Amino acid sequence: MMRIALLYICTGAYDIFWKDFYSSAERYFISDAERHYYVFTDSHKIEGSERVHIRFQEPLAWPYPTLYRFKIFNTIADELKHFDYVFFTNANLLFKKEIGTEILPVDEGLCVTLHPGYYSETDPLKLPLERNPDSLAYVGFNEGRHYFMGGFNGGRGADFMAMSRQLETNIDRDERNGIIAVWHDESHLNKYLLNRHPKILDPSFGYPDGWDLPFEPSVIIRDKNHFGGHDRLRNLAPAGREVKLRRNILDGMARLAKKTIKVAIKILRR
């Protein structure tokens, strides 16, 4: 029987999403496979079982819960190598209909989802890719045909973990150079996929709650505002490190904006 690992991070108050997520995954997500859930959490409300594996994860200041997700996955690489497929899902996802093996990758072993906000965008200049050439997530202004969301992706176990290792390395190198990519791990994911050929899922697999898109929802992105919003869910007071990080992000965005304007002007003058 096919064995699939689902990776799930829910620190702070994000454990509020677990029960519904788990029920929906058990009902709809490749139900004929042996599914195991690896839950990275500090919550005492989530019970482990034969297929629900709890791994303690302390809450981190924003944006580290998302920026470090691949680093977190790599801590259990020895366990994940025993699975045929590995998938990551954001905590606030909810499966809404039967999802079968049709989503599994065929070519390079990875499976990614088109971002619902940019799925129809054909102008690379309008995609929110990392444009800072000092970042390892950098994508040139004339590059990039798609923009993928970071909240639902996966693939063959070996391919997913190879990606996870490389992205941890790239993110760590950026951080040592004082750089955080504009959309964190999502920016690095998009750079990694730039010249690859993953299985591409349409936005029905990342359908924001309340949006009106021309797709029948397969996977809903639950609106965090209905659960108290980002700040309450993170359950973290702004620590000194976070305040400093916010300042660095703002400074980095300002530098990036200046570079973006200069490069765009050069392109338009050609």
- Amino acid, res. 156: R
> Residue 75: is its pLDDT beyond 80?
yes
Residue 267 confidence (pLDDT): 52
First to last CA, the chain: 57
Q: Report d(CA 50, CA 37) in Å as an integer.
A: 10
Overall fold of domain 3-237:
Spore Coat Polysaccharide Biosynthesis Protein SpsA; Chain A (3.90.550)
Give the DSSP H or E segment for 262.
helix 240-269
Q: Report d(CA 236, CA 150) in Å as an integer.
A: 22
What tokens does 191 get? Answer: 């750079």
In three-state secondary structure terms, 34 is strand
Q: Note the pTM of the prediction, 2 decimals.
A: 0.86
Residue 269 confidence (pLDDT): 53
In three-state secondary structure terms, 203 is helix
Give the DSSP H or E segment for 233.
helix 229-234
- What are the DSSP calls for 141-153, one per residue? TT--S--EEEEEE
> Residue 247: is its pLDDT beyond 80?
no
Residue 237 confidence (pLDDT): 43
Which of 104, 125, 129, 100 has its CA nearest to residue 115?
129
Mean pLDDT score, 145-163: 97
Mean pLDDT score, 1-9: 97
Mean pLDDT score, 247-269: 53
Residue 14 confidence (pLDDT): 96
Q: Report d(CA 7, CA 72) in Å as an integer.
A: 10
Give the total residue count for the chain: 270
Residue 121: CA atoms inside 13 Å, Cβ hemisphere, count? Answer: 19
Residue 226 confidence (pLDDT): 82
Which of 174, 163, 207 has its CA nearest to residue 69?
163
- Residue with the bigger pLDDT between 227 and 93: it is 93
Q: Which of 8-17, 50-59, 223-232 has the lowest mean pLDDT?
A: 223-232
Per the prediction, the chain carries an average pLDDT of: 90
Residue 116 confidence (pLDDT): 98
Mean pLDDT score, 124-150: 96
Judging by beta carbons within 10 Å of its beta carbon (0-12, 13-18, 19+), is residue 134 exposed, middle or buried?
A: middle
Question: How many CB atoms are closer than 10 A to CB 52?
Answer: 17
Residue 238 confidence (pLDDT): 45
Residue 243 confidence (pLDDT): 43
Mean pLDDT score, 186-201: 97
- Sequence ranges of the domains in the chain: 3-237
